[in-house]
Amino acid sequence: MSISTPGVHLGDDSEARETAREVNEYAAEIVRKYPTRFGFFATLCLPDVKGSIDELAYAFDTLHADGVVLLANSRGIYLGEKVFDPLFDELDKRNAVVFVHPSQLYGLAPLKGMPPFIADFLLDTTRAAVRLGGSGTLDRCPNVKIILSHAGGFVPFAAYRIAGAASPKRDFADGVEQLKKFYFDIAISGTPVALPSLLALARPDHVLFATD
């Protein structure tokens, strides 16, 4: 189980911390009641890095979360930006699983008649993937397993276009290998068009079932 966009941070750090704790304790209670049916990814409160690190410790050490869910961007700051390095360093120490779910593109209103999940979510995920690879985060934090939702957005289809930017060395071949480090779920993506593209890029054991 995990929660989706907009997460818990709506502008106030204190409120976000309280809501994250409430969400995580509720999820943990469900897992305690039905341990053979459920697990959960803990909700953090980015862009509040200190609050997120504190909640990560509580969620893992006390609630025994299976991983964390992070939005691709938190109020316009993308995963892979240096401000989030302390959190990713802590995730790496804990060999954490990180589930990345897209959010609305910051500062852009959805097009009329086109809800964000139609196209904006896919771009948001792709932006986060490129930033995580290109910033060196994936190299620096090799123990973190990162799952991209919805077959990775545009990543499989555009892999050979974005590969240079996805490499900290700005090297094409390295960029492809960076992208192959991700895990991909197939929520809303198990189609005869999306799956061949995904399977052409991803390692078979990096393709996971999931559903919205």
Q: Where are the domains of the chain?
A: 13-208
Under DSSP, the state recorded for 102 is -
Distance set, CA 207 to CA 35, 156, 163 (Å): 24, 12, 20
Q: Are 151 and 198 in contact (CB under 8 A)?
A: yes
Predicted confidence (pLDDT) at residue 212 exceeds the cutoff of 90 = no
At residue 128 the predicted structure's pLDDT band, cuts being 50, 70 and 90, is very high
Q: Is 114 helix (H, G, I), strand (E, B) or coil?
A: coil
| Residue closest to 153 by CA, chosen among 185, 106, 178, 131 | 185
Average pLDDT, the chain: 97
CB 20 within 8 A of CB 39: no
CB within 8 Å of 145: residues ≥ 6 apart: 67, 95, 96, 97, 98, 183
Other C-beta atoms closer than 10 Å to the C-beta of 85 total 16
Identify the pLDDT of residue 211.
87
CATH class label, 13-208: alpha beta
Per-residue confidence (pLDDT) for residue 132, from 0 to 100: 98
Q: What pLDDT band is residue 105 in, cutting at 50, 70 and 90?
A: very high
> pLDDT tier at 88 (50, 70, 90 boundaries)?
very high
Q: What are the Cα distances from residue 50, in Å, to 17, 26, 55, 208? A: 10, 22, 9, 31
Max CA separation in the chain (angstroms): 49
Quick one: how far is CA 89 from the chain centroid? Answer: 15
CA distance 181 to 132: 11
